[in-house]
Amino acid sequence: MVGPAGVPQRKMTYWNVKGSLVDSANEQVRVPNVIALVGLPARGKTYISHKLCRYLNWIGIKTKAFNVGEYRRKACNLEEEGEFEFFSPHNNKGNKIREDCARLAIEDMGRYLDSKEGEVAILDATNTTRARRRLLVDYCREMHHNPPFRVFFVESVCDDPDIINSNITEIKIFSPDYKGIMSEEAAKEDFMKRIEMYKMQYEPIDEECDEDLSYIKVINAGKSFYVHNVNGHVQSRVVYFLMNIHLLPQKHLPHSSWRK
């Protein structure tokens, strides 16, 4: 899809909106929001999380990100757990640790919102299974939250090998899982195997199965979008922001990329 002067335009394939940017200015104060990332490793989820957190705080919506990977790094040492094997769906010990870390992050997130310390919490995790996402939705809807939280999923979908390779390069250089622990080539090989572990259990958000959810699919770092059930001021802000920024670090953008 090409716009004026031959500039490629980003494509939005579907939009179902229950709220808008003209909602009450106090909407985000009355109803706490959880923004949950979804997607395989090396799809730019943490980059999106950081960008969203900075933006929402900048416009006056107090926001904090909760990165499940940081909880996992505190709970165990991958050198001792076998690097990529730790993420296998058949590794019972690894699964237990990762489930516990996700639960701790979600509980911390809940306390942050219940205490009114913040208005939006970003859950930076893979959330690759439907069961994990349902657990999160059920937790946020529990009546002891006053009021219950709204949940909006941001799924980063990517099959562009250039984007994936760029993200892997960033990870193998800067990730605490690998920095100073193994060579860059060994780190890349291990991380590629980790991605395969996640692929074995990944259930993408589905238009029919997940019709009740609110979400945006960001496809190939913003080349196209699929937006569903936007509900309220905060979610509208998130959609607007994601559709109007670069979703890759500038040095990794191809010269022909859409620019704003």
Task: Tell me the per-residue pLDDT of 20-61, one tens digit each, with 9 for 90 and over.
Answer: 443 444 444 479 999 999 999 999 999 999 999 999 999 999
Question: What is the maximum span of the chain, computed from C-alpha positions, in angstroms?
Answer: 56
Beta carbons of 189 and 84 less than 8 angstroms apart: no
pLDDT digits (tens, 9 = 90+) for 116-125: 999 999 999 9
How many C-beta atoms surround the C-beta of residue 9 within 10 A? 12
Nearest residue to 99 via CA among 127, 59, 77, 57: 127
Determine, yes or no, domain membership for 183: yes
Cα gap 47→166, rounded to integer Å? 13
Q: Please give the average per-residue pLDDT across 58-78, as a whole number.
A: 93
The structural domain count of the chain equals 1
Look up the domain containing 190 and give its range.
4-245
In a domain, 257, yes or no: no
User: How confident is the model over 99-114, as pLDDT tens digits?
Assistant: 999 999 999 999 999 9
Question: Is this prediction's pTM over 0.95?
Answer: no
Domain with 90 in it: what CATH number? Answer: 3.40.50.300
> Domain for residue 197, yes or no?
yes
Q: Report CA 137 to chain centroid distance, whole Å.
A: 15
Q: What are the tens digits of pLDDT across the range 168-226? A: 887 776 788 888 888 888 889 999 999 999 999 999 999 999 999 999 999 999 999 99
CA nearest neighbour of 216 among 15, 7, 2, 5: 15
Q: Identify the residue whose tokens are 């622990």.
A: 181
| Residue 258 is assigned to a structural domain of this protein | no
Whether residue 250 lies inside any domain: the answer is: no
Return the half-sphere exposure (C-beta side, CA atoms, 13 A cut-off) of residue 195. Answer: 19
Give residue 250's pLDDT band: very low, low, confident or very high (50, 70, 90): low
DSSP 218-240: EETTTTEEEEE-B-SHHHHHHHH
